[in-house]
Amino acid sequence: MIDDKTLQSVLALCKFSLSDREKEHFKQQIGDILSYVETLNQVDTRSIDPDLGKSLESMSLRQDKAAVGLPTEQVAGLSAHFQDSFFTVPRIIEEMDEITEES
Amino acid sequence: MKYDVIIGCEVHVQLLTRSKAFCSCPNNFGGAPNSRVCPRCLGLPGSLPVPNRDMISSAIKAGLALHCKIAELTKFDRKNYMYPDLPKAYQISQFDMPVCAGGYLEVTADGQSRKIGIIRVHMEEDAGKNIHAQGGLNMSYVDYNRAGTPLLEIVSEPDIRSAEEAVNYVQSLREIMRFLDVSDCNMEEGSLRCDANINLWIYEDEKRFATPIVEVKNMNSFKAMKSALEYEAERQLDEWREKHLTLQAVGKTTRGWNDDRGETVLQRMKEEAADYRYFPEPDIKPISISQNLIKQIKQSIPELPEQKRGRFVQDYGIAQEAAEALTQSKALCDYFEEAARGYQEPKRIANWILSEVKKLLNEKQMSIEQFPVPARQVTELLRIVDAGTISGKIAKDVFAEMAASRKSAAELVETKGLAQISDTGELEDVVEKIIRENPSTVADFKAGKQKALQHLMGQIMNATKGKANPQVTIRLIKAKISGN
Amino acid sequence: MRDLTLCGLKQALENRTYTSAEIVGAYREAYSQDRSHAKPLNAYIEFFADSLDHAREADALREQGKGGLLNGLPLAVKDNIMIRGKEATCASRILKGFTAPYSATVIERLQAQGALFLGRTNMDEFAMGSSCEYSCYGPARNPVNRDYAPGGSSGGSACAVAARLAPCALGSDTGGSVRLPASFCGIYGLKPSYGTLSRYGLIAYGSSLDQIGILARSPEDIALVLQAAAGVDPKDGTSAETAFPDLYPLAPLEFKGRKIALVKEFTEKGVDSEVHEITKRFAGWLKKQGAEVVDISLPVLHYAVPCYYIIAPAEASSNLARFDGVQYGYRDEAAHSLEEMYVSTRTKGFGTEVKRRVFIGNYVLSSGYYDAYYKKAQAVRSLLSRECQKLFTDIDFMLSPTAPVPPFPLGSKVDDPLAMYATDMCTTFANLTGLPALSLPAAMTKSGLPVGVQLTGAMFSERSILQAALSWRKSGESI
Ligand SMILES: [Mg+2]
Ligand SMILES: [Zn+2]
């Protein structure tokens, strides 16, 4: 079982909500799943380098060459909330609201 | 009350790569909204990031110039938070294995040079831009053109001790990035952005107290930065006097600089601090950096401003201030050195560039790269002055004409008949005439009034349209008057 | 005609026995017939209206003596692999109506060889599930017994192939999602080595675990498709250089001198006795072929599932954060503020199992819990990789059941996440280590349900795994 405070704080990260009934169900189920995965503590991992081993294959990189991306019609076609070349969202409320541009 | 101001800076600079950090979209400024986007930088499902090779070499270059250690193995991490300008709802950044760490930057403030420690330099991608509707519309607009632009985040130690030093630190950083051709560091366009952490160490009752750290954001110019940090230091001092709040009790808060009101405004308290849930970016494997690559990049690093300044003072004998002014850009340095090549008095070249060239650049709103007069023409012009062919005053007009017409100094002096009259015979007639026409001035001169000489000179210059060689003229006036 | 394998259809097309249009027509007919069944299989979310057009184009190409390795051959595609111009929804409300503006690399490569696509197949939402019941389009059914689950998450793909609604299908496998439904439906299903197939255009669940997989009724079919689709992709920096240029036609494997390990951890506790018995029988068959079968123990394998249920949700919580209604997909129009829009869009858009996993993922990554869960799981994963690497220096294949249990009735585990997770007991370790693994149809239970066994090989040993499976198929003992 996880407690209400934990449930609330993790839900805030998840950005979804649960009904009261779902919450009770969730607290139990998540608690069970967490106890289950905690069995990992039985494994002795002291021999494992906490950082990445140096034997790892290295990433292949991209040459710095520019290419055209998606044509505007396709970008516009992604969303019903595309207006005057912009995606639109409900107004972003900030404490520094008088600043017109985010950076 | 005795206290120290403690400042650390977090600077973001946009890299001048051709393409974005993890996709091939062009990395430019401006353009129609959402015109430089693709599945990757829009965070479309199924798209994957592939790091830009030049972003990594730029980061290494910057790190080396800041005397950092370059990681043998570096990796990317995800910084998770949801915001409309962040297409994937995470920013690809670096958390615990940054590409560069542990360097320093030498900064001069108050005539004193100090080393400011650099904790780390890491790579990350920029977000898009949120634009808030004007006039009460309940909407915000998002443009993703900037999303995915490669950034370097450069984090300093809290070694900075004044607002002035903080500004100088960021200016030196900008200078270096520009010399390396890694970033254009334009604060107005947002290709350089700086946040600062500031608090005070207050010495009271033989103890040291730290005031709560404030992260100051939204400093959009060097002027704003200086005012914001000065304001914040004052504010914290007042707050300390009033409430005696310590860092232990309050922690860190975020305040934004409001330029119009000239004050910082509280934006975020500690308990609201975001939980970014950093974890290794599974779509990008760790990257190993070979000693060979580091060596190659090291060799590509040009002489940096700091070294250049020393050399200019040493080799050319110019003043420290002039050297500082010249090393503001690499192109200006190159211009100076080319002009000074083989000229016996480099100081005069430096002065000419810092006065005449700068004046024209200002007037024409252009950069030295766009300046139409080649550096060797400055040398030629000064040689013509040295030969006594034209005066220094006329040389200034000639120079402006050179910039406007793109003609050479010699050509202009020739075609416009600007050469000075140094021929005694020709000048003698004029001098005699002026002396004859101004008996009272001559009398004043004889009485020892220096002004009288200038008055006579002026008349002669008028009569010769400024072409009279001043030295020869003065000699003639004196000879004529005393001879009479 | 629908009884032919993909390679059989290839032959038939080459011999002009059938045209591609006839083949596609037959599948379409079968699909619509099944729709009027009292208990429709629900294998397809959408059967593409234009598949017949593509078949005709392929036929025309063939007439001109042109066309690639797969010219005119139809495949079904899981609903999380993007085909330009088609919807791709991951069986989630949050992506309903989302049209892919680009194609996955694997899709492009198959198309370049002339393949065409019949439709999008049903799946567990965002590939999270082992029964294909967590779909916003309702569950798919097991064609062997329609009251049973087909396994998941690529349940629609397995169902379509087993029910002969497609000769071959693409799925995705993050913790067993190709192998498990293959086992439950009595077909072959390969999860290639991590990096063999590009992930570009596969909608991510757990990025470090995800692989596109192939389901078919013959190992040779899988070889054919793998050959066309494998190879390094500059769009996926985690894709491998390894390619399989001459996999097809596939030859059977010579078992003499091969060493196969039967792992204790996958044969004892938690394994259904009938499944265990079938696995043993398969081991007996291997011995008869001349292979050496050894019993070994690798205790860390016990921890593969808990390790998986930390790492996969962690990555998923981040991968699925982009579904917020801003640029594409579902958005709750009624929301007045940004925060409200995020929350109500995601609350209505995601199903319960997705919410559970996103929750777990955010929990294990959040400050204060990261070291105890995520970091520990990464350490266990490293240990697991090290141990498996060591093991495969000595052996050729690891043999295990694919699932510890035979197919289960629809609805029997839907509300019991831990019971559902337990079905991944034998499959997740291959995703955690990146190793290639294949489920092959071994036998039927007494009650007539298919049971598969799993062969796992060293990195990039797809060829020999498929060859071993082909030997099994050719032996005639295969179901
Ligand atoms: Mg940053
Ligand atoms: Zn892009």
Question: C88, C81 in Cβ contact below 8 A?
Answer: yes
Question: C422, C450 in Cβ contact below 8 A?
Answer: no
Per the structure block, which two tokens stand in for B454?
Answer: 């200038």
Q: Is A39 on the interface with B (CB under 8 A)?
A: no
Residue C290's pLDDT is what? 97
Residue B462's pLDDT is what? 85
Does B484 score more than 70 pLDDT? no
Provide mean pLDDT across the span B393-400.
88
Q: For residue range C11-52, what is the model confidence (pLDDT) as tens digits?
A: 999 999 999 999 999 999 999 999 999 999 999 999 999 999
Question: B123, B56 in Cβ contact below 8 A?
Answer: yes
Return the residue of C nearest to A83 by Cα: C327
Residue C173's pLDDT is what? 98
C382 CA to centre of ligand 2 in angstroms: 33
Beta bridge partners of C74: C116
Reduced to 3 states (helix: H, G, I; strand: E, B; else coil), residue B6 is strand
Q: What percent of chain C has pLDDT over 70?
A: 100
Across the interface, whether the CB atoms of B82 and C321 are under 8 A apart is answered: yes
State the DSSP H helix or E strand holding residue A35, giving kind and residue range, or none if neither. helix A20-37
Residue B1's pLDDT is what? 84
Across the interface, whether the CB atoms of C366 and B277 are under 8 A apart is answered: yes
B376 Cβ partners below 8 Å, 6+ apart? B338, B339
Q: For residue range B358-378, what is the model confidence (pLDDT) as tens digits?
A: 999 999 888 898 999 999 999
* Start-end of H helices in C92-165: 105-112, 155-162
Per the structure block, which two tokens stand in for B292?
Answer: 């060979």
Q: Is C393 on the interface with B (CB under 8 A)?
A: no
Return the residue of B nearest to A88 by Cα: B141
In 3D space, the residue among C70, C71, C28 whose CA is nearest the CA of residue C48 turns out to be: C28
Kindly compute the dihedral angle of the four CA atoms of residues A30, A33, A38, A43, in this order, to the nearest 10 degrees: -160
Nearest ligand to the CA atom of B120: 1
Amino acid at C258: R
Cis amide prior to C40 (ω within 30 degrees): no
Nearest to C315 among B45, B50, B282 (CB): B282
| DSSP code of residue A42 | G
Q: Which domains does chain B have, with CATH numbers?
A: 2-292 (no CATH), 305-415 (no CATH), 424-482 (1.10.10.410)
Question: B86, B130 in Cβ contact below 8 A?
Answer: no
* Subunits in contact with chain C (3 or more CB pairs closer than 8 Å): A, B
Cβ count within 10 A of residue C427: 32
Please name the residue that has the structure tokens 């249920």.
Answer: C309
Reduced to 3 states (helix: H, G, I; strand: E, B; else coil), residue B54 is helix
Write out residues 314-343 of C within 8 Å (CB-CB) of A.
Answer: 317, 321, 324, 326-328, 331, 335-338, 340-343
Alpha carbon distance C198, C194 (integer Å): 9
For the stretch C42-59, what's the b/e string if a residue is b when 16 or more beta carbons lie within 10 angstroms of its beta carbon? Answer: bbbbebbeebbebbbbbb
Kindly compute the dihedral angle of the four CA atoms of residues C161, C165, C170, C172, in this order, to the nearest 10 degrees: -70
Q: Indicate the pTM of the whole model.
A: 0.90
C399 CA to centre of ligand 1 in angstroms: 48
Alpha carbon distance B330, B302 (integer Å): 9
Residue A103's pLDDT is what? 35
Q: Pairing mode, if any, of strands C74-78 and C116-121?
A: parallel
Alpha carbon distance C420, C434 (integer Å): 22
C449: left (phi over 0), alpha (psi -120 to 50) or beta: beta
Counted residue by residue, chain C has a size of 479
B189 CA to centre of ligand 2 in angstroms: 20
Across the interface, whether the CB atoms of C101 and A17 are under 8 A apart is answered: no
Alpha carbon distance C67, C64 (integer Å): 9
Residue A51's pLDDT is what? 56
Q: Is B50 on the interface with C (CB under 8 A)?
A: yes
Reduced to 3 states (helix: H, G, I; strand: E, B; else coil), residue B366 is coil
State the DSSP H helix or E strand holding residue B194, giving kind and residue range, or none if neither. strand B192-204
Nearest to C306 among A37, A49, A59 (CB): A37
Alpha carbon distance B237, B211 (integer Å): 8
Return the residue of B nearest to C198 by Cα: B48
Residue C7: C-alpha distances to residues B376, C4, C194, C252 (Å): 77, 8, 25, 15
Per the structure block, which two tokens stand in for C395?
Answer: 């052996």
Taking CB atoms and an 8 Å cutoff, what residues of chain B touch A81? none
State the DSSP H helix or E strand holding residue C168, giving kind and residue range, or none if neither. strand C168-173
Across the interface, whether the CB atoms of C303 and A39 are under 8 A apart is answered: yes
CA A26 from chain center: how many Å? 20
Q: Is C243 on the interface with A (CB under 8 A)?
A: no
Across the interface, whether the CB atoms of A92 and C338 are under 8 A apart is answered: yes
Taking CB atoms and an 8 Å cutoff, what residues of chain B touch A80? none
B85 CA to centre of ligand 1 in angstroms: 14
B375 CA to centre of ligand 1 in angstroms: 41
* Subunits in contact with chain A (3 or more CB pairs closer than 8 Å): B, C
| DSSP code of residue B35 | -
Nearest ligand to the CA atom of B94: 1
Across the interface, whether the CB atoms of B23 and A60 are under 8 A apart is answered: no
Q: Pairing mode, if any, of strands C437-444 and C188-191?
A: antiparallel
Identify the weakest region by mean pLDDT among B116-130, B438-452, C281-295.
Answer: B438-452
Which residues of chain A fall below pLDDT 50? 54-55, 95-103
In 3D space, the residue among B281, B229, B283 whose CA is nearest the CA of residue B255 turns out to be: B229
Alpha carbon distance C175, C425 (integer Å): 9
Kindly compute the dihedral angle of the four CA atoms of residues B128, B38, C103, C311, in this order, to the nearest 10 degrees: -40
Question: A85, B134 in Cβ contact below 8 A?
Answer: no
Provide mean pLDDT across the span B173-192.
93
Residues with CB under 5 A from ligand 2 (ion): A 69; B 23, 25, 38, 40-41
Q: What is the CA radius of gyration of chain C?
A: 21
Beta bridge partners of C456: C398, C437
Across the interface, whether the CB atoms of B39 and C102 are under 8 A apart is answered: yes
Give DSSP secondary structure letters for C334-389: T--SHHHHHHHHHHHHS-HHHHHHHHHHHHHHSTTTTIIIIIHHHHHHHHHHHHHH
CA B481 from chain center: how many Å? 55
Alpha carbon distance C326, B303 (integer Å): 47
Q: For residue range B245-291, what is the model confidence (pLDDT) as tens digits?
A: 999 988 899 999 999 999 999 987 765 678 999 999 999 999 999 99
HSE-up of residue C99 (Cα within 13 Å, Cβ side):
11
pLDDT band for position B137 (50/70/90)? Answer: confident
State the ipTM, two decimals: 0.96
A81 CA to centre of ligand 2 in angstroms: 20
Nearest ligand to the CA atom of B95: 1
Beta bridge partners of C450: C444
CA B448 from chain center: how many Å? 51
| DSSP code of residue C256 | T
Alpha carbon distance B123, B151 (integer Å): 6
**How far away is chain B from the Cα of C43, in angstroms, using its nearest Cα?**
23
Across the interface, whether the CB atoms of B266 and A98 are under 8 A apart is answered: no
Nearest to B279 among C322, C336, C374 (CB): C374
Amino acid at C247: L
What stretches of B15-82 adopt beta strand conformation (E)?
69-70, 73-74, 77-80
Question: C315, C203 in Cβ contact below 8 A?
Answer: no
B256 Cβ partners below 8 Å, 6+ apart? A95, A96, A99, B216, B217, B218, B264, B265, B267
Alpha carbon distance C479, B3 (integer Å): 84
Does B94 score more than 90 pLDDT? yes
- Residues of C annotated as catalytic (active site), given as ranges: 78, 153, 177
Alpha carbon distance B25, B310 (integer Å): 41
Nearest ligand to the CA atom of B128: 2
Taking CB atoms and an 8 Å cutoff, what residues of chain C touch A14? 317, 346, 355, 358-359, 362
Nearest to C326 among B48, B84, B138 (CB): B84
Beta bridge partners of C328: none
CA B154 from chain center: how many Å? 17
Residue B414's pLDDT is what? 79
Q: What are phi and psi of B323, to 5 degrees?
A: -65, -40
Nearest to A70 among B37, B51, B75 (CB): B37
C220 Cβ partners below 8 Å, 6+ apart? C5, C6, C7, C248, C249, C250, C466, C470
Cis amide prior to C249 (ω within 30 degrees): yes
Across the interface, whether the CB atoms of A58 and B143 are under 8 A apart is answered: no
pLDDT band for position B49 (50/70/90)? Answer: very high
Biggest CA-to-CA distance, chain A? 58
Nearest to A86 among B50, B142, B218 (CB): B142
Q: For residue range C164-215, what is the model confidence (pLDDT) as tens digits?
A: 999 999 999 999 999 999 999 999 999 999 999 999 999 999 999 999 999 9
Alpha carbon distance C160, C381 (integer Å): 34
HSE-up of residue B173 (Cα within 13 Å, Cβ side):
33
C417 Cβ partners below 8 Å, 6+ apart? A29, A32, A33, C353, C356
B153 CA to centre of ligand 1 in angstroms: 6
Residue B451's pLDDT is what? 85
Which residues of chain C fall below pLDDT 70? none
Q: Pairing mode, if any, of strands C74-78 and C168-173?
A: parallel
Across the interface, whether the CB atoms of C380 and A45 are under 8 A apart is answered: yes
Across the interface, whether the CB atoms of B46 and C236 are under 8 A apart is answered: no
